[in-house]
Structure formats: structure tokens, C-alpha cells
Structure 1
Amino acid sequence: MAGLTLTNVIKRFGTHEVIHGANLQVADGEFVVFVGPSGCGKSTLLRMIAGLEDISDGTIEIGGTTVNDVEASERRIAMVFQSYALYPHMTVRRNLSFGLQMSGNPQQDTERRVAHAANILQINDLMDRRPGQISGGQRQRVAIGRAIVREPQVFLFDEPLSNLDAELRVQMRVEISRLHKQLGTTMIYVTHDQTEAMTLADKIVVLRAGRIEQVGAPLDLYDNPANQFVAGFVGSPKMNFLKAKVEQRRESGVTISLVADPDVKLTLPLSSAIPEGSQVTLGIRPEHFLDAGAGDADLTGRIDVAEHLGHTSYVYATLADESLIIERPESRHAGQSDRLTIGLSAARSFLFDAQGNRLR
């Protein structure tokens, strides 16, 4: 097992820079998830750690050793791909053992490692089948098993569950989490799925356009996002953002009014100095709306769609030209009216300036 350190890591394709000075510390045994929109550089960063992409500048250390010039096969890492990358003509047993045999690993040790991986993943009854004879979830287990037999210092996962259906994704999330607890090995995991990131990670790394925006524990990022981008990206359904204007500045805070409904005013504690008349953005998560009259201000939106999920409802509404997602307990939304009045809580609201920097 080993920790991982990235120091000012840069990646250029020609003159185009796609990773801009990434700095990251991953502790030994940590489960770290890279998240961000498509094209943000998360898979490129993972491939550089694996040695499948050269780095243009900076250093990558694994277990305290700089690996910039170390071949991928010598880095003692194992990577699980989105496509599984299994040999279709080989049995599961042969898929697990092939890489070790080709590297000259002793037969007895290879058999030990294969048996160990099969026991961990509970695939002993699949060992004589070929990939085409097993399910997608079973193929994913085999792909993970092929990584386990390498006994790596670091596991790398590149969107490994994206090809599975919803039920299998839930099952495999649980199995990967269990595997991490059992092995205690450092794991780096790339995904675009919010639920995977929040449930699997010890630490989440949020990337945008090749830059690390924020690093932290899942609930830290959820409760204390560094900026509007992180606030909007972490959480599902996403945070609501409403355009607002600073109406009055006081020593203790500011009073803002919503652009979509200037009659809706909310006073927020704020230590930052921001002039009256400034354009700001109010952020509030779907589950933080209150019953009408229970908060510091009320707003009324037109209901477009209501999704009833049994224990809760997601109400999609419109306030002037702005969209809202409101989470309501099922019993509190009968779905009979086309209007919904909800309460805003100053204590559960975020405020961002015109550049997306967080004010509170």
C-alpha cells in the first residue's frame, strides 16, 4: 500500500494545456473520487497517475517515490476500465492469471493470488466460464479481480460502473466499498455520478476545466462548497440558484431581493463587504425549503412537474423565468394545485457574488 502525491502536475497536448498545475495529497489507504463535468480532465489525470499518459511538468509520487519516468507496468498500480477489457476467448480463471503468467510470476503464487481474488469477490463458481457466459455485474467482478491479483499499491477505477443498470450499480457500489474496507489499499476512482462519489469516497476532488476546484470529505463539500461551481456540482438533485440583488447593507449582514420576484426579500448574515445594488446569486438545496410561513421569507412558484417517489416528491417549478427543484415529503404535496408556496431559510441559504465566489 502507498500514498500518492501530485505536485504542480501539468498536461499539454501540443500548445494546449488541459491540466493546470494539479496539487493533491492522497493518504495511504484512502478512497479518493475524482468528479467533474465531461472534459474536465479527471480521466486524463487518472491516466497520468497510471503512467498511460506522460506528464508535461510537475511530479507524481507513489509511496514516496517519483514515478514520472517509471513505466506503467513498474508502478505497482492496477487499473479497472469502464469497458472491463476482458479476453473473450479465455475463461475467468485464465483472465485472472494471464497477466501474472506473462510477467513470469511463479505458478504456485499465481494460483494463490487467483484463489484469493476469487474468494474475495465470490466468483468461484464462474472460474471455468468465459466472459460471454456471465452477466455484466459478474464481468465487472472479474475485471476487479484481475486488478486484485496484481497486489498493487494503488487501485485506479475509470468509471467502472457506467455500463451497468441502476440496480447493479447499487450492488457494485456496496461491493467496491466492502472491498476497500477489506483490502485497505489506496483507491482512486473517477466518476460523473454524484451518488457514487458521495457514498464511496473518503475524499472528493472536484475538477473543472483542468483545475482542482476543491478537495474534501463528501459532507464537507456538500455543506461548505468553496464556490458556486462546487455547490452546483455536488449534490443530487443540484442546488437551486436564484438571481438576486443587494438591497441594503448593514453591519450584521445584507438584505437581498430576488430578481424574479422583488417582493421576496431575505436578510442574511454576512461579514464580507459588498456594495448595495450588487448582483448576487442565492443558493438553496432542494431539501432545505420549508413550509410556507415557517422560514424567513416565502416565495410562490408555478408547478411544472411533480415526481412522486413514495417517501418524497421532487417538484419542478418555475419562478418567473427561473427554475426550481423542491424536495417535499410525499404527504405534504397533494399534487392538486398548479402553484406552490414555500419558505426560505436564511440559515440554510448560500450567497455567491457575480463571479461565483462564495460570500456565505
Structure 2
Amino acid sequence: MAGLTLTNVIKRFGAYEVVHGANLEIADGEFVVFVGPSGCGKSTLLRMIAGLEDVSEGTIEIGGIAVNDVEPSERRIAMVFQSYALYPHMTVRRNLSFGLQMNGNPKEDTERRVAHAANILQINELMDRRPGQLSGGQRQRFAIGRAIVREPQVFLFDEPLSNLDAELRVQMRVEISRLHKQLGTTMIYVTHDQTEAMTLADKIVVLRAGRIEQVGAPLELYDNPANQFVAGFVGSPKMNFLKARIEGKGASGVTVSLRADPRVKLTLPVSSAVAAGSQVMLGVRPEHFVNAGAGDTDLTVRIDVAEHLGHTSYVYATISDEPLIIERPESRHGGDSDSLTIGLSAARCFLFDAEGSRLR
């Protein structure tokens, strides 16, 4: 097992720079998830760690040793891809052992490693089947098994569950989390799925346009996002953003009014220097709305669509054409009304300036 350090890592394709000076510390045994929109550089960063892409500038260390010039096969890493990459004509047992045999690994040790992986994944009864005889979840489980037999210092996962249906994704997510607890090996996992990131990670790395925006534990990023981008990216459904205006500043903070309805005002404890009249964004998570009269102010929205999930409802609404998602813990939002009055609590709201920097 080993930790990993990225120091000023840059990646260029020709003159185009796609990763801009990434700095990151990953402790031995941590489960770290890279998240971000498509094209943000998360898979490129993972491929540089694996040695599948060269590092243009900077240093990658695994276990305290710089690996920039070390071949992928010598880095003691194992990678699990979105595609299963199994040999269709081989049995599962042969798939698991083939790479070790090709590398000249002793037969007894190969058999030990394959048996160990099969026991961990509880797949002994499937070892003599071929990939075509397996379900998608079983194939992905075997792809992970092929990584386990290498006994790596670091596991790398590149969106491994993207091809699975919703139920299988939940099942495999639990299995990967259980695997990490059992092996205690450093794992780095790339995904765009918020639920995967929040449930699997010890630490989340949020990327945007090749830059690391924030690093922290899942609930730390959820409760204390560094900026509007992180606030909008971490959490599902994502945070609502309402255009607002600074009305003035007093001893208890700044007072903002919604541009969609200037009668709706909130006073937030902001210490940053911000001028009256400034345009800002008020952020509120769908689950942080309260019942009318229970917060610091109320607002009335027009209901477009309501999704009733039994234990909760998601109300998709608008206020002067600004969209909102509101989570209601009840199984109904209040009947078939076209409108809904809800409360806002200043303690559960965020505030961002015009550039997206967090003010509160």
C-alpha cells in the first residue's frame, strides 16, 4: 500500500493545456473520488497517475518515489475501466490468471492470488464460466477481481459503473466500499455521479477546466463549498441559485432581496466588504427550504412538475422564470395547487458574489 502526491502536475496536448498545475496529497489507504463535468481533466489526471499519459510538467510520487519515468507495469497500480476488458474466449479463472502468467509469475502464487480474489468477491461458483455467460454486474465484479490479483499499491477506477443499470450500480457501489474496507488499499475513483462520490469517498477532489477547485471530505464540501461551482456540483439534486441584490449592510450582516420578487428579503451574517446594489447569487439546497412561516421569510412559487417518491417529493417550480427544485419530506406537496408558499431560513442559505466567490 502507498500514498500518492501530485506536485504542480501539468498536462498539455500540443499547445493546449488541459491540466493546470494540480497539487494533491492522498494518504495511504484513502478512498479519493475525482468529480467534475465532462472535459474537466479527471480521467486525464487518472491516466497520468497510471502512466498511460505522460506528465508535461510536475511530479507524481507513489509511496514517496517519483514515477514520471516509470513504466505503467512497474508502478504497482491496477486500473478498472468503464469497459470490462475481459477476454471473451477465456473462462473467468483464465481471465484472472492470464496477466500474471504472461508476466512470469510462479504458478503457485498465481493460483493463490486468484483464489484470494475469488473469495473476496464471492465468485467461486462462476470461475469456469465465460464473460458472455455473465450479467453486467458479474462482469464488472470480475474486472475488479483482475485488478485485485495484481496486489497493487493503488487501485484506479475510471467510471467503472457507468454501463450498469440503477439497481446494479447501487449493489456494486456497496461492494466497492466493502472491498476498500477489507483491503485497506489506496483507491482513486473517477465519476460524474454525485451519489457515488458522496457515499464512497473519504475525500472528494472537485475539478473544473483542468483545475482543482476544492478538496475535502464529502460533508465538508456539502456544508462549506469554497465557491458557487463547488456548491452547485456537490449534492443531488443540485443547489438552487436565485439572483439577488444587496440592499444594505448593518450590524447583523447584509440584507439581500430577490430579483424575482424584491419583497422577499433576508439578512445574512456576511463580514466581507460588499457594496449596496451589488448583484449576488443566493444559494439554497432543495432540502433546506422550510414550511411557510417557519423561516425568516416566505416566497411563493409556481409549480411546474411534482415527483412523488413516497418518502419525499421533488417539486420543480419557478419564480419569475427562475427555476427551483424543492424537496418536501412529505409524500405530497399539498395537493394539486398550481402554487406553493415555502420558507427560507437565513441560516441554511449561501451567498456568492458575481464572480462566484462565496460570501457566506
1:237 matched to 2:237: yes
CA-CA distance at 1:335 after TM superposition? 3.0
Paired residue type of 1:311? H
What residue is the counterpart of 2:187 in the other structure?
A: 187
1:305-347 deviation line (CA, Å, top 9, x unaligned): 0000000000000000200000002245233100000000000
Could you tell me how far apart the structure 1 residues matched to 2:278 and 2:318 are? 24
Paired residue type of 2:251? E
What residue is the counterpart of 2:220 in the other structure?
A: 220
Matches of residues 1-360 of structure 1 in structure 2 within 5 Å? 1-331=1-331, 333-360=333-360
When structure 1 is superposed on structure 2, of 348-357 and 262-271 the one drifting more is 262-271
Could you tell me how far apart the structure 1 residues matched to 2:156 and 2:331 are? 44
| Aligned residues with identical type, % of pairs | 88
CA RMSD of aligned residues (A): 0.6
Could you tell me how far apart the structure 1 residues matched to 2:169 and 2:47 are? 23
1:202-235 deviation line (CA, Å, top 9, x unaligned): 0000000000000000000000000000000000
Matched residue SS, 1:196: helix
Q: Which runs of 4+ in 1 moved over 6 A?
A: none
CA-CA distance at 1:252 after TM superposition? 2.7
1:64-103 deviation line (CA, Å, top 9, x unaligned): 0000000000000000000011111110000000000000
CA contact (8 A) 1:243 1:260 kept: yes
CA contact (8 A) 1:307 1:314 kept: yes
Paired residue type of 1:221? L
1:28-49 deviation line (CA, Å, top 9, x unaligned): 0000000000000000000000
Could you tell me how far apart the structure 2 residues matched to 1:329 and 1:105 are? 56
CA contact (8 A) 2:252 2:267 kept: no
Matched residue SS, 1:330: coil
CA contact (8 A) 2:97 2:111 kept: yes
CA-CA distance at 1:298 after TM superposition? 0.5
CA contact (8 A) 2:312 2:332 kept: no
Paired residue type of 1:198? M
Matched residue SS, 2:178: helix
Could you tell me how far apart the structure 2 residues matched to 1:89 and 1:34 are? 34
Task: State how many pairs are aligned.
Answer: 360
Matched residue SS, 1:260: coil
Paired residue type of 2:246? V
Could you tell me how far apart the structure 2 residues matched to 1:168 and 1:335 are? 34
Paired residue type of 2:226? A
Could you tell me how far apart the structure 1 residues matched to 2:342 and 2:251 are? 28
Gaps of 5+ in 1: none
Matched residue SS, 1:255: strand
CA contact (8 A) 1:306 1:335 kept: no
TM-score, normalised to structure 2, is 0.99
CA contact (8 A) 2:226 2:357 kept: yes
